[in-house]
């Protein structure tokens, strides 16, 4: 960028440095997998480029993902013999905060760089610089400890290198943070590194404790001498920083299915009415346990709606304008804990009141739970009065919501 300043008729062009920054999106997805209900992890969805795109088998063996960025590192001078080029990457874990833009919930993600590489470009073929005819031997004799496929400690060999007479593409593992230095053994008139390759590893939160939606956050690394990513020895990058923009996409499942006919519930004593009619005794309970099947990967809450005066009771009415009451209790399958922890066994639901949160410990796929609809004792005494013959009906709606 240039800025012109005029004073007393004299114009001077002031050259100001151009500050450039590179960025790269890192995207990961959680969707529950019915075949692996205990695998509660994010899957990397960022397309591989660079080393892992060129050599996918190498990366698959080491669970690595790589990115190649067009960041160039230049050395504006001739490299003399014994000139050290030190490669360093941010190999230590670094935290960043990701935020759900809808709920404003935050989580911590950690990232570290586990591999780094590039492609050096010489002003003339390596074998000419060292005075041999073999192309590969030229690259090997140009550097201390052979060619750049062999990493300098503390970096480690990754498996593959690629070369032409004047270029060499390499990739090194970075188990610890430190400079991995190669020394030139001959004069190099001109050299630059034309890209920045890196492999990364993520530590993500447990998605079962996160709400559905997109969680975003950024982490910025410095580039250049003394920076997070550094090709030492005086090499200068054409970008001053690299920002990784993280997007964690959480796509939960919450589904409740009733068996056929499960939307119509008939209350009766245990063993049916005939048993109690024949015995001449009043039943102590009138109820129905209604089975349902739940698939859930995230916390959720439950509400009951009905014709009610409030509290735990729903009103049932008869054609004769009589009324009685029923209560509803929720039982969830093992693997889902209630608000106080532990199993959820016949938790009483309240009218127009959210109960929860209920938290799956693993992903559950069509596991059985139940709703018990039961008449309180005083309601039983009312409807079973001598001489009363009536039918009571009503609607009860159970709402399941993953937005807790």
322-378: per-residue pLDDT in tens?
999 999 999 999 999 999 888 999 999 999 999 999 999 999 999 999 999 999 999
Residues 94 and 165 in one domain: yes
Residues 145 and 210 in one domain: yes
Distance, in Å, from the CA atom of 85 to the CA atom of 254, rounded to the nearest integer, reads 54
The answer to the question of residue 125 being in a domain is yes
Residues 214 and 336 in one domain: no
Distances (CA, A) of 401 to 75, 208, 357, 404: 59, 15, 10, 7
Distance, in Å, from the CA atom of 171 to the CA atom of 145, rounded to the nearest integer, reads 16
pLDDT score at 340: 84
33-64 per-position pLDDT tens digit: 888 888 888 999 999 999 989 989 888 877 78
Residues 182 and 309 in one domain: no
Residues 72 and 175 in one domain: yes
The answer to the question of residue 344 being in a domain is yes
Residues contacting 272, CB < 8 A, separation 6+: none
233-285 per-position pLDDT tens digit: 889 999 999 999 999 999 999 999 999 999 999 999 988 888 777 777 788 89
Question: β-pairing, 355-360 with 336-337?
Answer: antiparallel
Residues 230 and 244 in one domain: yes
The answer to the question of residue 390 being in a domain is yes
Q: DSSP label at 239? A: -
The answer to the question of residue 11 being in a domain is no
Residues 40 and 88 in one domain: yes
Distance, in Å, from the CA atom of 318 to the CA atom of 313, rounded to the nearest integer, reads 16
Residues 75 and 99 in one domain: yes
Q: Looking at 194, 228, 250, which one is the last position of a domain?
A: 250
154-212 per-position pLDDT tens digit: 999 888 899 999 999 999 999 999 999 999 999 999 999 999 999 999 999 999 889 99
Contact 208, 298 (CB under 8 A): yes
The answer to the question of residue 4 being in a domain is no
**Of 205, 206, 211, whose CA–CA distance to 357 is shortest?**
211
Distance, in Å, from the CA atom of 299 to the CA atom of 210, rounded to the nearest integer, reads 8
Distance, in Å, from the CA atom of 373 to the CA atom of 292, rounded to the nearest integer, reads 13
Q: What does the pLDDT average to over 386-402? A: 91
Residues 276 and 367 in one domain: yes
Average pLDDT, the chain: 90
pTM comes to: 0.81
> How many structural domains is the chain composed of?
2
Q: Looking at 197, 219, 250, which one is the last position of a domain?
A: 250
Residues contacting 29, CB < 8 A, separation 6+: 42, 43, 45, 248, 249, 251
Q: State the pLDDT confidence band at 8, using cuts at 50, 70 and 90.
A: very low
Distance, in Å, from the CA atom of 384 to the CA atom of 256, rounded to the nearest integer, reads 34
Q: Looking at 211, 227, 250, which one is the last position of a domain?
A: 250
Which CATH number fits the domain that encloses residue 299? Answer: 2.60.40
Task: Tell me which residue range forms the domain holding 355.
Answer: 254-401
Residues 30 and 129 in one domain: yes
Distance, in Å, from the CA atom of 69 to the CA atom of 113, rounded to the nearest integer, reads 14
The highest-confidence range among 36-45, 106-115, 225-234, by mean pLDDT, is: 106-115
The answer to the question of residue 5 being in a domain is no
């Amino acid at each position: 960028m240039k800025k012109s300043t005029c004073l007393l008729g004299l114009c001077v062009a002031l050259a100001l440095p151009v500050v450039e920054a590179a960025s790269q999106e890192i995207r990961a997805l959680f969707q529950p997998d019915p075949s692996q209900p205990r695998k509660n992890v994010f899957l990397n969805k960022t397309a591989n480029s660079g080393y892992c795109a060129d050599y996918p088998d190498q990366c698959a063996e080491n669970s690595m993902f790589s990115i190649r960025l067009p960041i160039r590192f230049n050395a504006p001078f001739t490299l003399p013999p014994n000139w050290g080029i030190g490669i360093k990457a941010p190999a230590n874990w670094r935290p960043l905060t990701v935020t759900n833009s809808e709920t404003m919930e935050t989580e911590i993600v950690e990232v570290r760089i586990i591999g780094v590489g590039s492609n050096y470009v010489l002003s003339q073929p390596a074998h000419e610089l060292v005075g041999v005819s073999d192309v590969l031997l030229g690259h090997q004799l140009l550097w201390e400890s052979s060619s750049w496929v062999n990493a300098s400690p503390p970096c480690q060999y990754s498996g593959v290198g690629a070369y032409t007479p004047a270029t060499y593409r390499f990739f090194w593992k970075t188990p610890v943070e430190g400079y991995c230095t190669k020394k030139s053994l001959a004069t190099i008139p001109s050299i630059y590194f034309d890209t920045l390759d890196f492999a990364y590893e993520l530590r993500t939160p447990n998605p079962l404790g996160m709400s559905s939606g997109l969680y975003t956050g950024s982490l910025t690394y410095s580039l250049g001498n003394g920076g997070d990513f550094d090709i030492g020895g005086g090499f200068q990058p054409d970008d001053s920083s690299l920002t990784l923009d993280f997007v964690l996409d959480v796509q939960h499942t919450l589904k409740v299915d009733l068996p056929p006919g499960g939307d119509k519930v008939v209350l009766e004593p245990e063993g049916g009415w005939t048993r109690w009619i024949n015995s001449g005794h009043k039943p102590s309970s009138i109820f129905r346990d209604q089975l349902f099947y739940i698939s859930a990967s995230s916390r959720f809450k439950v509400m009951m709606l009905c014709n009610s005066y409030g509290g735990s009771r729903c009103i049932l009415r008869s054609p004769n304008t009589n009324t009685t009451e029923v209560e509803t209790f929720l039982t969830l399958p093992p693997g889902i804990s209630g608000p106080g922890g532990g199993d959820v066994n016949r938790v009483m639901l309240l009218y127009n009141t959210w109960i929860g949160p209920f938290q799956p410990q693993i992903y559950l796929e069509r596991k059985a739970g139940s709703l018990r609809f039961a008449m309180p004792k005083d309601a039983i005494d009312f409807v079973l009065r001598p001489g009363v013959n009536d039918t009571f009906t009503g609607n009860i709606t159970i709402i399941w919501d993953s937005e807790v």
